[in-house]
Amino acid sequence: MSEVAAFVAWLGAAVIVLADSRRGLAAGLAILAAAAGAIAWSQGEQGGAIVLLAGGVLGSALRFTIGPDGWGLMQPGSTPRLLFTVIVALVALWVALAATSGGSAGFRFAVLTVVVLLVGRLLEAAEPAVMLTAIAGVALVLGIVSGGGIVSYAVAALVTAGVSAMPMPATPRTRGT
């Protein structure tokens, strides 16, 4: 189960990397939340899985309503991002399968690939909705790896929903006005 969940986690993060508008970002966050919940479930944290899924789905629903209109998936100029998702997946797969141990390989692949993809997205993006969705995804992963029991999952769920509920920031004032 964790191997399938790991692939779904990569898919969710890849959708966030490839999306520029609210619907695509919401879809990516929802997929990632489902995968994070499944990974938590496979680790025997059923309560945490439900909490994490609820937080992720709520965050996704909020993102669906806040941000630039449309899906914005794979718009012109997104080829480097597509390549980025594939290369990160291959490197994370090698690290998870051949270089590391501890936990399941699926868990290791999922956390590595999602964190690296979303940090890459944060560095590249300029749109607040994209940056907030990426950071919400990082919070979901932190919920799985923090190791604080149900509290970690609950805090991650709250942070994901809270970050997604943030209104878009005001445009900065120009100098001299």
Partner 1 sequence: MEPELAIALPAAGAACAAALKPRPRLAFAAGAVLGAAGLVAVISSRADLSSDQLGITLTLSPASRAILIAASAALAILVALPPPRADRSNLLRWGLGGLAGMTAMAAAPTLGLAVMILLLLVVLQGSGTGRRAYANRFRAPALAIGLLALAVALAAMQGPSWLSRLLVLCLVAGLAAALGVLPYIHEFDPDELTSASPIPWLAFVGPVLAVVVVGRAGEMIEGAEDAFGALLIGLGITNILVATLASWRTSSDAEAWRYSFIADWGLALCGFGLVVPDGVGAALLVFYSILLGRLPLYLWSRQSLREKAQTDRPINFIVAAALAGSAPFAGFPARILLLRAATAMYWPLALVLALSFLLWLPGSLRLGRTIGAPSGRQLIGVAVALAVSVVFGLFPRPLLGLAGL
- Binding residues for partner 1, rule: CB under 8 A, are 99-103, 107-108, 111-112, 115-116, 118-119, 122-123, 125-128, 131-132, 134-135, 138-139, 141-143, 145-148, 150-152, 155-156, 159, 162-163, 166-167, 169-170, 172-173, 175
Least distance to partner 1, CB of residue 177, Å: 10
Nearer Cβ to partner 1 (32/156): 156
Cα–Cα distance for residue pair 173/177, rounded to 1 Å: 7
Residue 48 identity (one-letter amino acid): G
Nearer Cβ to partner 1 (24/113): 113
Least distance to partner 1, CB of residue 163, Å: 5
**Token digits for 112?**
């590595």
Nearer Cβ to partner 1 (18/111): 111
Cα angle 99, 104, 108 (rounded to 5 degrees) comes to 55
Say if residues 150 and 47 touch (Cβ distance below 8 Å). Answer: yes
For the chain, what is the radius of gyration of the CA atoms? 16
Least distance to partner 1, CB of residue 57, Å: 18
Residues contacting residue 163 through CB under 8 Å, at least 6 positions apart? 59, 132, 135, 136, 139
Least distance to partner 1, CB of residue 149, Å: 8
